[in-house]
Chains A and B, each alone.
Chain A
Amino acid sequence: MFELIGITPQVLFGQLLLGLINGSFYAILSLGLAVIFGLLNIINFTHGAQYMLGAFAAWMLLNYAGIGYWWALLLAPLIVGALAIVAERLLISRLYKLDHLYGLLLTFGLALVIQGLFRNYYGASGLPYAIPPLLSGGHNLGFMFLPNYRGWVVVASLTVCLTTWYMIEKTRLGSYLRAATENPVLTEAFGINVPRLVTLTYAFGVALAAFAGVLAAPIYSVNPNMGADIIIVVFAVVVIGGMGSILGSIITGFGLGLIEGLTKVFYPEISATVIFIIMAIVLLIKPAGLFGRAT
């Protein structure tokens, strides 16, 4: 059947796997953006830089402190999340009463500063980060070869995304978050510390980006531009899914990664732009996004 259309299953599944991996990153990154936007009403343009910081944190932990991949997976999000707390308290929190545009400009500016600093110190060429020994090699599944690390990225991303969804939709802390998102003034009038919730939410969304950065380090080389490259696509994913929807950003992230992969097989000419084409169509038909609530 595959031969009929001139495509081997190896190629098809290989590209689907690549799509799934890209989708893994789209999903975690757009999920973080959605969580932050929901509560803070700020489009976090620093997100790509914070993803890059996560990858660099892993690289630095390894090269300066001898701390390996598995610890980095935990520590890098904590470190970058702590930096996010400082940024939120010191800078972003001053803008909540102003127009959204100010938040956008600040976070965009922050991204440029962070990326510029790292380019200055580390150059733009990229630093290698090895796949952890436990996940090197791969499995021959018969119809395709599955590198272990790539399988792990998909599993880890799905786990983190679904855990986040569960925490937000099904736990008490999540109900605080939803309440503060919907009506911060009343929520605070019940005695709930909304400003602290806002700070922690920002840190959590950023920590997700840093986690994605660590996952990405062994696949893409660690370099100062890695965030700027992916974040453009992620914003398109967010526009397609609808800003602020938790489950929507997860589904859209993985879905668009797969579509991108399929496009590489069937119509490679547009594979680099297919997401933007879909974005344009969605904007025309459903401007609030596939899962967005029109307001």
Chain B
Amino acid sequence: MAETARNVAQADPAPQLAVENLHAWYGESHVLHGVTFAVKPGEVVTLLGRNGAGKTTTLKSIIGIVGRRTGSIAFAGTETIGMVSRAIARLGIAYVPEERGIYASLNVEENLMLPPQVRPGGFTVEQIFELFPNLRERLASQGTKLSGGEQQMLAIARILRTGARTLLLDEPTEGLAPVIIQQIGRTLARLKQEGFTIVLVEQNFRFAQSVADRHYIVEQGRVIDMIANDELDANHDKLQTYLGV
């Protein structure tokens, strides 16, 4: 799989997602100071960085839910910086927020069926249950009655239904037990195999290493470095300094 990724990289196709000189604000507070990075079709890249570096804000800017943002975010060649979030989503980008965003006023089935299909060819409900068998038994439960792991699965499952082929995942392994993390890892590997493009925010860089092609380092609202996955071990010390671990 690393092989195909390199071949794709060599062919150097137009990026699926190209972020350039992205600035973002929460009210008066200027949080992103010129984020630049790109993701090729079918690639899995991570955003690594300390707490408060601006990783979440970068994902929110891409999906269009940060109050004010400037710069350029091109999705498959379409400039989205001036678009509202629902229009961006309809281009085929789906988002799993850091807090998972499971609705308490919806049951599991309603949570699963909520996001509208934006592209043909999304997962069927049957395929989703094959991927996450736990969900099938819990369909009638209130969404937030699920365990943390089940909520994360539900948050991923519901966007797979939409047919979106570019996924923004904000710390999907945060606070979860190792078995659940493995299950999510297998899911991401399968999605990668099927050609999904994924931007993954991760703190757990072992996990990041097991799924990603490349890693972007975010610090103080900028991307300051890029490390290819197979060079991660060689750059171990550098990474330690970046992440402050």
- Chain A interface residues (CB < 8 Å from chain B): 172, 175-176, 178-179, 181-183, 185-194
Contact = CB atoms under 8 A, between A and B. Distances in A.
B114 A179 contact: yes
Contacts, number: 64
B116 A192 contact: yes
Interface string B82-111: 001110111000110100010111100010
Interface in B64-80: 64-65
Given A189-B95, A192-B116, A193-B86, A178 B65 contact: no
Contacts of B86: 188-194
A178 B116 contact: no
A172 B107 CA distance: 12
A178 B85 contact: no
Q: Is the interface of A mostly helix, strand, loop or mixed?
A: helix
Interface of B: 63-65, 84-86, 88-90, 94-95, 97, 101, 103-106, 110, 113-116, 118, 159, 162
Q: Considering the complex of A and B, which 9 residue pairs feature the smallest CB-CB distances, nearest first?
A: A191-B89, A190-B115, A175-B110, A178-B105, A189-B85, A186-B101, A191-B90, A191-B86, A188-B86
A23 to B, nearest CB: 27
A191 B115 contact: yes
B116 A190 contact: yes
A38 to B, nearest CB: 10
B85 to A, nearest CB: 5
A180 to B, nearest CB: 10
B224 to A, nearest CB: 28
- Which among B85, B90, B106 has the greatest number of chain A C-beta atoms within 10 A? B85
B146 to A, nearest CB: 16
Given A179-B105, A186-B97, 10 more contacts: A179-B106, A179-B110, A182-B104, A182-B105, A182-B106, A188-B84, A189-B85, A190-B86, A191-B86, A192-B86
Contacts of A178: 103, 105-106, 110
A191 B113 contact: no
Nearest to A38: B105
- Which among A176, A179, A188, A190 has the greatest number of chain B C-beta atoms within 10 A? A190
B17 to A, nearest CB: 16
Contact of A172 (B103, B113, B159): B113
Given A176-B114, A191-B115, A185 B105 contact: no
Contacts of B90: 191
A193 B87 CA distance: 9
B105 A189 contact: no
Nearest to B110: A175
Nearest to A191: B89
B19 to A, nearest CB: 17
Contact of B113 (A175, A185, A186, A192): A175
Nearest to B118: A191
A18 B174 CA distance: 59
